[in-house]
Structure 1
């Protein structure tokens, strides 16, 4: 198919499904609707961009897109003979972090089944999956076109096991939610576990827990975690011993943790399906005595990617382990927008009230949009985000340290029955552009929405979809329209928006939101739409400078209640007061003024407290290196502190991309 034919076909399909909520309408309706034509996904088309994204390195050779019946023979099935680790065979894409997680979930096949909403081979050439992206569950509908090498005709990326498709389709859906296949190159198993299960995970860097490894505590933890049904995925060091069969910078699934006759052993699997450890405890090695074989009953298959290794050799070759939990009985997801604020840096629109009725173990997570997604890192980088948990007396229970390095900050707590308050905190650093970005047109060369605009529209949609149900309800859409200066009522929403663009009974979908802007660009022009985006808090380069949506997840071993309440300055100030009392270091005192530095992960907050009359304080923070000042234009400034109160002078944050930083804070009382 020529590029012009593809553009023509996609335009026809786009116009045909414009009012159909492809990801959300009942499957039987979608099957009936798509039975009239050969479906091609207009939102993840068979194009170079779907493979490479914005990258200019198109180095995979000549690629064509094929339906499964064009590269498989015989009966094709999504699942064939159950779900097995051997189904996973990595191709020409560095997504071992994803495939190792999939392999770890093969021990819990119901978790894989839950991802596929139509798990049978589709004659209509579409599949709908459910993935938890950016902390929100979402349906992802893809067509069955798979990128294949032009010369061999076989898939470029994940390989099929016999005639089954589930891994190939799952990888494609994952690529779609991130914008391209190449966007999956390199990553953290912790992230893919959270995306596929919606459950929390933690990651340990082995070099940071040497004392626990040497004492045996970490080995005992590994045994207990595996015994309790947690998923374990390990990543290798950059200097791993490849001559001995360990690939550097690669992820492996941990399938067994065993201790016998004083030996500590781990069984791993390489997602390539080959290339195995050749050292002690490898297949047919002398360590496998008849006694050890009888005790552990190892299965040895020639070059299937699975092998045993001693814990000592594991530590020498591996860098980190991700531990994923599946044992929570209840979960809830809410959303908060954090806005730029002159007094606090970042201010949450809402905080969250927890009601715990029984002794419970809970993990609270706050999720940002993944920087792996197209245009996020350049235009909406991670906010430095944390949160505090207060009890019913508004005293600190625990904090999740503020950081700008991770898409998720989370906290595990053992809670007694009672009321708790969860208050997000942020310095608001990402609202200040640190790098130059290029101004882009709103439409691409083929007339489609430019990826940057599409990424921006998704951010807007997420901000106004406060209940995480993947639609803009009438009230949410009316609020959006008011923000861009247009007044509508519910009847007008039904007539001019819901009936024209892809919607459900509940409201407008993201697909419909894209289409609404696509038509608006044609009707009103780019400058008019740019004016809307300015009102929504984006600069001329579409960098977000005012607000960011955060999804808050609660996972608990017992039932609980969680609701969002509008944040007042009192609750936010109380959170910072508790942080200062518990984690603030005194910088100095003079004339009733005390200056504190509250430490975070690669950041500090400078708090100025006044126990006397109104004062003006001059601050000098110019002695540091690689520092970003988030609330002020430079390192020096003055602040007025009313009597018997405190203020945040500034948040000093390590510059992005730097591995070390330093700061100094001096002050002088003016009056």
Structure 2
């Protein structure tokens, strides 16, 4: 589906520098069942110290100005004589927005109420204010790749007359909506952190599904068919109106407001068929006043039966409008697909799902987009996607529908304290290989998605129709050196997804600089060691710094004493504090190679030494300069350490997976290396 390119003013590239990567903060895990049993045993009501009944749980910003003066926290039993957690026999569109401007959350929640099985997964319905009541409740959310259980107590903020100040129910004794909002606020930091958001985010958090966003100004001609398939495939849908200076427009719509799509219907008028869309304002009031509104004359054009079934002349926030008006007055339509086959004609077929977690780290894997022309795009994480043909598919010889979703994780627990980066991804056709694509590949090849866009949103999702074959996905931020964790998800009928090589690799070529020159130096070292059978770190430094490094004439190579001490410690097998000629030859063989210093800090060609991205990141921090660039001497130290430690592991392991060390061996390995 089409996405609008990021139109924000470009910022200056972030300068390179040392970085301590800010990992996403996972939510605090509390065992609901254990806490419930403990409270029942002690005959006490649960109080949640992790999200206390305190102003800190509400926030620190503009929301505080809206609060009533005498804000109090009370349990439902203090607000109603017979509180009910969830009323299954009542109409479920019963929630009203409170002081928090979270219509996006409420619009998604309204969509959830149409699917009782999905609702029951998020809101465990076996909770009660009577049986096993201990003032504790729990809810489940899909949170960046995994389902998490969020526990809350039932103390809710109310005004001086005992009315809930945030989400409430039309039925004053029903509290599931208010408690769910509290759990969601706890997950994302505070009630204040629910002030800004999008329907698409909440829909994914409730379902773990994948979103398709349709810009209605450029809606596809088969929009009605898409809506029909979405309805019958149990997708959840939300939409948003255009921004405006006036809050409530003359036509009854609220500007910049989220709505829930609650149904569709094709009706037969006297002049022909008409496609209608049913929507609901999460405020539970203020409705559309145009054609097919509750009081519209259009209803008189229907048969009495259709009129009775569809028309509901009641101020409850729900209304009908034509598909034509819907495309005019709403900006976009978000469809959250529980199964991602919405855009496919192959109904009822099973899809598979793969997920990978990754990071963009400054100086290592945060290469930015190709548009910045900085030559670092290739540094981004790369994922090999093998799209396989499906035997039972009617289109097995044709294209396969593939959905790719990229989600960025916030570094802060508070979702609104860290703005979203502009993110996107490129997809390339490629021959199967475990090697990461080199820089030259991206100068010679165009991506499958030629019109790449970057959005400053939590998730970017694109649908593809791909021929079976091998592809490479390169997720990136718009600007280089921007850090974040991310989740990459792929949905298709059949595929294999893996990180390219599973790692980033570093290369030190083993070619001899020059045979003739090498012979001269070999003779020199033989004569030198005849006079000095063992050399110390100072002598090693003198030798290395006096060598004319033929391949690096344009660089001033200098080995520090510290680097020479590290090299000596790595190669001094008999722990004498000196090197013999045999030990020095091991070093010389490794140094007499051809090394590309331009790509020294993160070389991309493999030599059999494969290192994870985490190791590479540590390398940049440990051995790099303030700009995270690695000198030749530091690279040598690093590669020697890798080889020595790798050899030690292979010698000590029994199963190839792990080793057991005595304390003395551990001290020797860590201190000596």
Specify which of 421, 427, 433 is matched with residue 388 of structure 1: 427
1:366 partnered with 2:417: no
Residue 108 and residue 383 in structure 1: after superposition, are their counterparts in 2 closer, same or farther (change >3 A)? same
1:72 aligned residue: 80
| Equivalent residue runs for 1:447-486 within 5 Å | none
Q: Aligned equivalents of 2:197 and 2:304: distance in 1?
A: 36
**Any idea what SS the aligned residue of 2:85 has?**
coil
Can you list the C-alpha shifts for 1:212-240, whole angstroms capped at 9, x where unaligned? 47xx5434443443344332212112247
Q: Aligned equivalents of 2:208 and 2:73: distance in 1?
A: 31
**Any idea what SS the aligned residue of 1:553 has?**
strand
Q: Aligned equivalents of 1:182 and 1:124: distance in 2?
A: 27
Q: Aligned equivalents of 1:371 and 1:338: distance in 2?
A: 12
1:226 partnered with 2:215: no
| Equivalent residue runs for 1:90-489 within 5 Å | 90-117=97-124, 119-121=126-128, 123-149=133-159, 151-162=160-171, 163-207=173-217, 209=218, 212=219, 216-239=221-244, 242-260=249-267, 261-289=272-300, 291-295=302-306, 297-328=309-340, 329-341=351-363, 344=376, 347-348=379-380, 351-354=383-386, 356=388, 358=390, 361-370=401-410, 374=414, 377-378=417-418, 381-382=420-421, 384-393=423-432, 397-398=448-449, 401=452, 403=454, 405-415=456-466, 419-426=470-477, 429=480, 431=482
**Structure 2 unmatched ranges of 5 or more:** 1-26, 341-350, 365-374, 391-395, 434-444, 508-551, 555-595, 605-673
**Any idea what SS the aligned residue of 1:278 has?**
coil
Q: Aligned equivalents of 1:376 and 1:269: distance in 2?
A: 26
**Any idea what SS the aligned residue of 2:310 has?**
coil
Can you list the C-alpha shifts for 1:418-472, whole angstroms capped at 9, x where unaligned? 55543333465463xxxxxxxxxxxxxxxxxxxxxxxxxxxxxxxxxxxxxxxxx
Residue 559 and residue 258 in structure 1: after superposition, are their counterparts in 2 closer, same or farther (change >3 A)? same
The answer to whether the 8 A contact 2:63-2:192 is kept is no
Q: Aligned equivalents of 1:120 and 1:57: distance in 2?
A: 31
Q: Aligned equivalents of 2:124 and 2:36: distance in 1?
A: 12
In the TM superposition, residue 141 of structure 1 has moved relative to its aligned partner by 1.4
User: Superposition RMSD on alpha carbons, in Å?
Assistant: 3.7
**TM-score, length-normalised on structure 1?**
0.57
In the TM superposition, residue 42 of structure 1 has moved relative to its aligned partner by 1.6
Can you list the C-alpha shifts for 1:83-119, whole angstroms capped at 9, x where unaligned? 7442222222211111111111222111111113464
**Any idea what SS the aligned residue of 1:113 has?**
helix
Residue 348 and residue 377 in structure 1: after superposition, are their counterparts in 2 closer, same or farther (change >3 A)? farther
1:567 aligned residue: 503
Q: Aligned equivalents of 1:232 and 1:423: distance in 2?
A: 29
In the TM superposition, residue 288 of structure 1 has moved relative to its aligned partner by 0.9
Residue 152 and residue 259 in structure 1: after superposition, are their counterparts in 2 closer, same or farther (change >3 A)? same
In the TM superposition, residue 374 of structure 1 has moved relative to its aligned partner by 2.2
The answer to whether the 8 A contact 1:118-1:128 is kept is no
Q: Aligned equivalents of 1:569 and 1:403: distance in 2?
A: 28
Residue 310 and residue 389 in structure 1: after superposition, are their counterparts in 2 closer, same or farther (change >3 A)? same
Can you list the C-alpha shifts for 1:539-593, whole angstroms capped at 9, x where unaligned? xxxxxxxx5321222334x46554445234699xxxxxxxxxxxxxxxxxxxxxx
1:487 aligned residue: none
**Any idea what SS the aligned residue of 2:169 has?**
coil
In the TM superposition, residue 319 of structure 1 has moved relative to its aligned partner by 2.0
Can you list the C-alpha shifts for 1:45-70, whole angstroms capped at 9, x where unaligned? 11112112455853212311111111
The answer to whether the 8 A contact 1:245-1:275 is kept is yes
Residue 242 and residue 41 in structure 1: after superposition, are their counterparts in 2 closer, same or farther (change >3 A)? same
Residue 400 and residue 24 in structure 1: after superposition, are their counterparts in 2 closer, same or farther (change >3 A)? farther
Comparing 560-569 and 193-202, the one that deviates more: 560-569
The answer to whether the 8 A contact 2:383-2:472 is kept is yes
Q: Aligned equivalents of 1:128 and 1:382: distance in 2?
A: 32
2:344 aligned residue: none
**Any idea what SS the aligned residue of 1:120 has?**
coil
Q: Aligned equivalents of 2:232 and 2:203: distance in 1?
A: 18
Q: Aligned equivalents of 1:351 and 1:111: distance in 2?
A: 32
The answer to whether the 8 A contact 2:420-2:458 is kept is no
Q: Aligned equivalents of 1:371 and 1:277: distance in 2?
A: 40
More strand by share: 1
Residue 424 and residue 83 in structure 1: after superposition, are their counterparts in 2 closer, same or farther (change >3 A)? farther
In the TM superposition, residue 391 of structure 1 has moved relative to its aligned partner by 4.5
The answer to whether the 8 A contact 2:209-2:337 is kept is yes
In the TM superposition, residue 416 of structure 1 has moved relative to its aligned partner by 5.4
1:555 partnered with 2:491: yes
**Any idea what SS the aligned residue of 1:98 has?**
helix
Residue 403 and residue 244 in structure 1: after superposition, are their counterparts in 2 closer, same or farther (change >3 A)? closer
Residue 327 and residue 400 in structure 1: after superposition, are their counterparts in 2 closer, same or farther (change >3 A)? farther
**TM-score, length-normalised on structure 2?**
0.57
In the TM superposition, residue 142 of structure 1 has moved relative to its aligned partner by 1.4
Residue 548 and residue 266 in structure 1: after superposition, are their counterparts in 2 closer, same or farther (change >3 A)? closer
Q: Aligned equivalents of 2:458 and 2:231: distance in 1?
A: 26
**Any idea what SS the aligned residue of 2:265 has?**
strand
1:34 aligned residue: 39
Number of residue-to-residue matches in the alignment: 434
Greater gyration radius: 2
Can you list the C-alpha shifts for 1:495-520, whole angstroms capped at 9, x where unaligned? xxxxxxxxxxxxxxxxxxxxxxxxxx
1:86 aligned residue: 93
Comparing 384-393 and 297-306, the one that deviates more: 384-393
Residue 569 and residue 411 in structure 1: after superposition, are their counterparts in 2 closer, same or farther (change >3 A)? farther
**Any idea what SS the aligned residue of 2:141 has?**
strand
Q: Aligned equivalents of 1:427 and 1:252: distance in 2?
A: 30
